[in-house]
Amino acid sequence: MRTFVVISDTHGRRGAIDRVRPLFAENHYIVHLGDGSADMRPVFQEYPDKTYFCCGNCDFSGYGREEFVLEAEGVRIFCCHGHRYGVKSGTDRLAARAKELDCGVALYGHTHRAAIEERDGVLLVNPGSLGSFTEPSYCYLVVHAGKSTATIVRC
């Protein structure tokens, strides 16, 4: 079993990251999905082997990759910010890209709205915004033996 803390859209609000920081030590992966990727520098310094982050449409520092795939427990996980896939208008393109990459899970942000849905055999998960734009939230993702379960946690 592998566990993930998935956050997004902190937009410079490092205090929001500090609120969930105690969780980082006890989980296998820490993923930031963009718009605040530079906020993760101290986390990456502390946990370099398990911290991953994307660039979002508001990340101008060049800190992070556009998108990437993680694999754990037989589950391929596509990670991106989501703006390049038009997620504010729907998740069809995101699901298609995840399928193209043979991923059963797609993690994305950008909308600031937490969501979990299944589309065309892909589990699509948006942790919402950890910043103060909406009710702050993150995702706790568990993968085990080829299966995945996502839970949105309000904080």
Domains of the chain: 2-154 (3.60.21.10)
pLDDT range class, residue 134, cuts 50, 70, 90? confident
In terms of Cβ atoms closer than 10 Å to its own Cβ (0-12, 13-18, 19+), residue 55 is buried
Q: Are 146 and 71 in contact (CB under 8 A)?
A: no
pLDDT score of 71: 98
Cα Rg, the chain, nearest whole Å = 14
pLDDT range class, residue 95, cuts 50, 70, 90? very high
Specify the higher pLDDT residue, 138 or 64. Answer: 138
pLDDT > 90 fraction of the chain, expressed in percent and rounded:
92
pLDDT score of 76: 98
pLDDT score of 100: 98
pLDDT range class, residue 131, cuts 50, 70, 90? confident
pLDDT score of 133: 72
Region 89-118 average pLDDT: 98
Measuring CA to CA, which residue among 153, 152, 141 is closest to residue 72? Answer: 141
Mean pLDDT for the chain? 95
The pTM (predicted TM-score) of the whole model is 0.96
pLDDT range class, residue 5, cuts 50, 70, 90? very high
Task: Please give the torsion angle defined by the CA atoms of residues 26, 27, 32 and 33, in that order, rounded to the nearest 10 degrees.
Answer: -150
Region 80-101 average pLDDT: 98
Place of tokens 């991953």: 52
Residue 3 has pLDDT above 90, yes or no: yes
Residue 77 has pLDDT above 90, yes or no: yes
